[in-house]
Amino acid sequence: MQSPAVEREPQSFDTVVSSMCTEPHPAAREAAERFLATNPGDPATYETVAELERTVVADLARLAEHPAFAAGSDGDHATADRYGYVTSGGTEANIQAVRAARERHRRDGDTHDRDGAGNHRGGEPNVVVPASAHFSFQKAASVLDIELREVPTHPIDGDPEQAGCVDLDALAAAVDEEPALVVAVAGSTAYGRVDPVTEVAAVAESVDAAVHVDAAWGGFYLPFTDHDWSFADAPVDTITIDPHKLGQAAVPAGGLIAREPATLDSLAVATPYLETHAQATLTGTRSGAGVASARAAFDALYPDGYRAAQERATELAAWLDAELTQRGYTVRPRDLPVVAVDLPESLVAQLREAGWRLSPTAAGEARVVLMPHVDRESLTALLADLDRLR
C-alpha cells in the first residue's frame, strides 16, 4: 500500500461546521504563500518576517487592550517581542502560560515563602481551570508535571445566565493551597461561554496566583462585545488569542500575550548558533507563513472586518438557534456564536454519514461553530439534511 496521492484535494469547507479552523482571508493566503520559506525563529537570518512578527504581536496586544499598546497610541512594535510571540497555536500558548506561572511560583517561593530552615513552605504548585477549559491544559499539566485542578462549571441545563461558566464558589474552594495559575475561559470550546473574568481574577489575586485568559478562539470576537476579558478589564497576566482561528490567518499562527516582559524572560533559553541570544518560544524553527498571513489579515480586517464578522456570526447563530428550537430541539445558552444542540446521537451519526463534519461536545451535543466560512447557505443545507433524516 503506497501513497494515496498528494494529488487528492483537501476537504471542502462547505460541510465543515464544527471546526475552529477556517479558510484564511485571501490576503492572508497570499502572504502565507509568499513567506512560506522563512523562519521567524531565526530573526538575524530572516529579518523581514521577524519584524512582521513584532507588528502582529503589537496588534494582538492592542486587541487585548494591553496598557503598553493602548488603542490610538499605535504602540511600538520594536519592543513587542518582549510581550509575546506568534505561537504554533493555542495549545503552545496555553502550555507556555502555565509554564511561566510555574516559574513565577518557584521564584516567589524562593524569596518569600520559606520556613526558618529555608525550605519551601507549601506543597507543589497547581493550576486551576474550569471544567470547560480546552484539553490543551491537560497537555500542559502532563508536559509540565504540574497538578491540574478542574473546577465545575454551572450545569448547562440550569440558569442560562451562568450555565457552562465556572462556578465561582467552587473556584474559591479549589484555590486553598497554592495555585500557580487560575485560568478563565473567554469563549469555551463547547458552548462559547465567557467566564466572569473579573471575578475569577479576584479569586486568583486573593491567593497570589497568576491569571490566564484563554481567548484562543474568542479573542477576535470579544472586542466587539460587552464581556470583560482583556488586560484593561481585569488584572490578567497572560492571554491566548489565535490569529489562525477567528483572525482568519493561515495555520500555524497562535498568539501568547503577557502583561509583563518578565513573563517572556522566564520562558527563555540560550541559543547558540543563532545571532540572537535567547528564545522564549516552545518551538525552534517557526512558520513565517503563519506570521505573514496574520500581518496581512490584520491589515485587511482590523477593526471593521473583524467587527463585521462578529456581527454576522452572532446573527447567524441566533437564526440557527431559532430554526432548531422551532423543530423542538434544545439549544444550549452561549455568549459567543457556538450553537450546541441536543440532537439524538443516531441523527448526528446520520448527518456525519451524509458528509457533515459535525463534532460533539463532551456531553454529546452537536456543535456548530460560526466561523467565517459557515454561512446561511451551508446551514440551510444542514437543516435540510436534518429534516430529511430525522
The one-character DSSP state at 212 is: E
Stretch that binds a second copy, among 86-94, 109-117, 169-177, 310-318 (CB under 8 A): 86-94
Span 115-134, contacts to a second copy by CB under 8 A: 134
77 lies in the binding site for a second copy (CB under 8 A): yes
How many residues make up the chain in this entry? 390
Q: How far is the CB of 269 from a second copy (least distance, A)?
A: 5
**Cα distance between residue 181 and residue 124, in whole Å:** 12
Contact indicator for 84, 60 with CB cutoff of 8 Å: yes
The three three-digit cell numbers of residue 148, written as one number: 491540574
Tell me whether residue 32 or residue 241 sits nearer to a second copy (CB atom).
32
Span 348-367, contacts to a second copy by CB under 8 A: 357, 359-362, 367
What is the contact mask toward a second copy in residues 17 to 36, using x (rule: CB under 8 A)?
-xxxxxxx----x-xxxxxx
Say whether 54 sits in a helix, a strand or coil: helix
Q: How many CB atoms lie within 10 A of CB 27?
A: 18
314 lies in the binding site for a second copy (CB under 8 A): no
Tell me whether residue 85 or residue 298 sits nearer to a second copy (CB atom).
298
312 lies in the binding site for a second copy (CB under 8 A): no
Q: How far is the CB of 27 from a second copy (least distance, A)?
A: 8
378 lies in the binding site for a second copy (CB under 8 A): no
Strand partners, 126: 147, 179
Tell me whether residue 4 or residue 118 sits nearer to a second copy (CB atom).
4
374 lies in the binding site for a second copy (CB under 8 A): no
Stretch that binds a second copy, among 171-179, 247-255, 326-334, 382-390 (CB under 8 A): 247-255
Tell me whether residue 141 or residue 209 sits nearer to a second copy (CB atom).
141
From the list 339, 343, 314, the residue with the least C-alpha distance to 328 is: 343
CA distances from 316 to 151, 363, 368, 370 (A): 32, 24, 11, 8
Span 250-309, contacts to a second copy by CB under 8 A: 250-252, 254, 269-275, 279, 282-290, 292, 295-296, 298-299
Q: What DSSP assignment string belongs to 70-116?
A: -TTTT--GGGGGGTEEEESSHHHHHHHHHHHHHHHHHHHHHHH-B-T
CA distances from 235 to 154, 198, 322 (A): 24, 8, 37
84 lies in the binding site for a second copy (CB under 8 A): no
Q: How far is the CB of 231 from a second copy (least distance, A)?
A: 20
Contact indicator for 364, 383 with CB cutoff of 8 Å: no
325 lies in the binding site for a second copy (CB under 8 A): no
Tell me whether residue 6 or residue 117 sits nearer to a second copy (CB atom).
6
Span 158-217, contacts to a second copy by CB under 8 A: 189-190
Backbone Cα Rg of the chain: 21
Strand partners, 151: 130
What is the contact mask toward a second copy in residues 90 to 109, using x (rule: CB under 8 A)?
xxx--x---x----------
Tell me whether residue 95 or residue 183 sits nearer to a second copy (CB atom).
95
Contact indicator for 95, 258 with CB cutoff of 8 Å: no
